[in-house]
Structure 1
């Protein structure tokens, strides 16, 4: 008989395949629409839309399932989300939480099967509110989000986004704060050039360390990658650096975690130069999701009868995300089956200089799922220590 660990690994393996496909397509569409520095949580979007899918019927459900690449076996996917929630929320040595909530208009009756499924697999809160009182209902929702994200995501909803026609608001909140396994010495942080384009550069605060890292050449992406472990080795930040200064758009369109993990990774001493950065993004996802084929759920033909017999459709899908990276580690928030093969590297140390636009991802190793994905295109010049 398979052990519990083997069962969980199998569930994670199946789940990561669908999540990889969704993440690749989702981010390739998000990045060009945001345009500037970007951070988002494909996992957050995937989870909350999956909850919606299990309450959808007919063509509405078909469109959602197709765009989310959900497995045909609902119990496998649902158990996958349950295992992931437990694994993330029980992680030690860092701060991480993944939470779901479904705010319901007073007087609306939800289907018992939908409530039971959400409680069992997604651990969702289901508070009742009066959306006709837009100020108070918005305050309650924003307060919940702030609490779940350690006050990093504020004012997710504005009062004018809620009215008497609002019946249900579904929310997923993600928060992450981890310290590097190899912290950067603040004394080595100094202003270094960061090339926005071939002809434009800025001098920005850049961290430095020389330590042991896993890194890889990504020939198909014309890029390089390095993995920065956190103090809890189940989590790491992946930095993906295009070989060309203006190579980020191509990287964003072709980013695929699976192909990156399956490449040949080396391990050895690396001199790493990494800019400090802080990014916050607010992304309206309706247009992106419709381009991915999720259309009917936004119309009067939406069939959400698995949620409630009341006539329902989706009004807005919004994601707000935040990340900060400094010498201690990183803080982020948002409302591998393939073995890594490492070999020791001889001196001199590899130099990994992140001095041009790049991508990053915070990854959960057991599930092989990226929790956050983002891009840095431009960083503002800051005064040097002597100018402060």
Structure 2
């Protein structure tokens, strides 16, 4: 289902191939969800993590991730997410809050630009952890999740409570 409103107008101003990529991924994502259950899932969040992973990978992995997102190359990927994150910040009536962080083993060598892309393109972060110390790694991840949750709880509460009515 596609809902049209004044808030979706920014998608119409996007490069058509990038808008098609976003829509294609969202449709494929929704098709993979378990049918018959109520779920709240964000294709944009999933695509952002996959996109950041693609930028940090190489070879067949990068190629397959770009294909899955229907994007031609790294620059198209950067353009799409730069546009989405910057535009949704300026659309009246829309507040987009995303909390994404990718944890990478401390045994991996990160490409020089990946930290920059994480911050500037995705408003995200990367952190290297020693996953052989599973308790410490789990503690670091859980601490970040708690802090992110508290951020969302403390910022811009609903103006009026949500209520279901008969």
1:42-191 counterparts in 2 under 5 A? 42-70=43-71, 72-88=72-88, 96-150=96-150
Shift of residue 55, structure 1, vs aligned partner: 2.8
CA contact (8 A) 1:89 1:98 kept: no
| CA–CA separation in structure 1 for the residues paired with 2:18 and 2:158 | 24
| CA–CA separation in structure 2 for the residues paired with 1:149 and 1:88 | 21
CA contact (8 A) 1:95 1:178 kept: no
1:238-257 counterparts in 2 under 5 A? none
For structure 2, the residue ranges without an aligned partner over 5 or more in a row are 1-9
CA 176–84 in structure 1, closer or farther in 2 if over 3 Å, else same: farther
| CA–CA separation in structure 2 for the residues paired with 1:142 and 1:9 | 38
Of structures 1 and 2, the one with the larger relative CO (CA 8 A, separation 6+) is 1
1:292-371 counterparts in 2 under 5 A? none
Shift of residue 176, structure 1, vs aligned partner: 9.5
TM-score normalised by length of structure 2? 0.70
Larger radius of gyration between Structure 1 and Structure 2: 1
Q: Is the partner of 1:37 in helix, strand or coil?
A: coil
Query: Are 2:31 and 1:22 equivalent residues in the alignment?
Result: no
Which of the two has greater strand per residue?
1
- The equivalent residue for 1:207 is 165
CA contact (8 A) 1:97 1:148 kept: no
1:217-256 counterparts in 2 under 5 A? none
Shift of residue 40, structure 1, vs aligned partner: 1.0
Pairing partner for 2:13 from 6, 9, 14: 9
Q: Is the partner of 1:10 in helix, strand or coil?
A: coil
Shift of residue 15, structure 1, vs aligned partner: 2.7
CA 73–65 in structure 1, closer or farther in 2 if over 3 Å, else same: closer
Question: Alignment length, in residue pairs?
Answer: 154
CA contact (8 A) 1:97 1:176 kept: no
Shift of residue 140, structure 1, vs aligned partner: 1.7
CA contact (8 A) 1:15 1:80 kept: yes
CA contact (8 A) 2:51 2:77 kept: no
Which of the two has greater helix per residue?
2
- The equivalent residue for 2:37 is 36
- The equivalent residue for 1:334 is none
CA 20–92 in structure 1, closer or farther in 2 if over 3 Å, else same: closer
| CA–CA separation in structure 2 for the residues paired with 1:121 and 1:60 | 20
Shift of residue 73, structure 1, vs aligned partner: 4.8
Q: Is the partner of 2:121 in helix, strand or coil?
A: helix
